[in-house]
Amino acid sequence: MQIGMMGLGRMGANMVRRLMKSGHDCVAYDINPDSVAALVKEGAVGTTSMEEFVNKLAAPRHVWLMLPAAITGKIVDQLANLMKAGDTVIDGGNSNYRDAIDIAAKLSAKGLNFVDVGTSGGVWGLERGYCLMIGGPDEAVRQLDPIFAALAPGGTAGSKETGTAPRGYLHCGPSGAGHFVKMVHNGIEYGMMAAYSEGFNILKAANAGKQERAADAETTPLSEPQYYQFDIDIAEVAEVWRHGSVINSWLLDLTAGALKADPQLSQFGGRVSDSGEGRWTLRAAIDMGVPAPVLSSALFDRFSSQGHSEFADKMLSAMRYAFGGHVEKPKA
């Protein structure tokens, strides 16, 4: 099957490679000509403009976008002016599901299909495959099944389960449903990452009873230091948890690998970005009255890591000084 891929970043380029390995014909376009050239060497058809990109596709055209959410809507509008009734636009980026619903309605009026695909797998997708959460019209999704099957992990050989979910892709519902499911997926990801990080931080501090602590009014004493005398190798703990533990996961595998390579994580500064999905998940939870305290805590912790709590922290110090004369201690 022929498909066009626009956006050849870390995921888009590897998706093209995985599709070509399965025998699909890929037409590639990116604003960076070097990214296109690299895939042309591997067998893709390269293009240098959006017009050429669309013209190289046979009707009915299928165009997959792997772009930042901030520009996806604009690019879809440009594509819609070049495409014809019966063609399909697929958005595989981390876009807001609300945008998917609105875009689908706008394209439908022109006779175009819009399919939103929440795509999980990151830079490992070429090797492992991608988990795909799909929203869109039934017939458009059906036409794309060979593409989804090639990108997905593929399932377990000999499995008696029916449907596509065991193979790693699922038609979740109408336009917007794919991005909605991926949005919640990423909200859960925030919470899981926070839980692992906080747990390992507690393990790292388990030798607190051996540490010198200031004896002053600004330092909480460690009343029972004899209970915190452990020098725990957290890299080895991460490794042992990978084998038979209830909390084992691919995320833990990646964590163990990071700790093995750099136990102090010295190459990282601790600023954790959020790309929107956590915020959108909480907005949906609030709209529907669904409690999500873990996910909200994880999101707000990311805000703090970005420096957004600095003024509030200064305000706390100012109030303590104002009412009690407490002089702020320097940061460690």
Contact 178, 137 (CB under 8 A): no
User: Catalytic pick from 84, 182, 204, 329?
Assistant: 182
**Each residue of 84-116: pLDDT tens digit?**
999 999 999 999 999 999 999 999 999 999 999
Tokens for 246, please give them: 């209830």
Question: Contact 110/85 with Cβ under 8 angstroms?
Answer: yes
Is 222 a residue whose pLDDT tops 50?
Answer: yes
Strand ranges (DSSP E) for the chain? 2-6, 25-29, 45-46, 62-65, 88-91, 113-120, 131-135, 169-173
Confidence of residue 320 (pLDDT cuts 50, 70, 90): very high
What mean pLDDT comes out for the span 224-251? 96
CB 92 within 8 A of CB 67: no
Per-residue pLDDT of 114-163, as tens digits, reads 999 999 998 889 899 999 999 999 999 999 999 999 999 985 444 556 79
Say what percent of the chain tops pLDDT 90. 91
Determine contact, residues 39/46, Cβ cutoff 8 Å: yes
Determine what percent of the chain is predicted with pLDDT higher than 70. 98
Catalytic residue among 84, 110, 139, 189: 189
Active-site residue flag, 189: yes
182 noted as active-site residue: yes
Q: Detail the DSSP E strand segments found in 166-211.
A: 169-173
For the cut 70, the answer to whether the pLDDT of residue 59 exceeds it is: yes
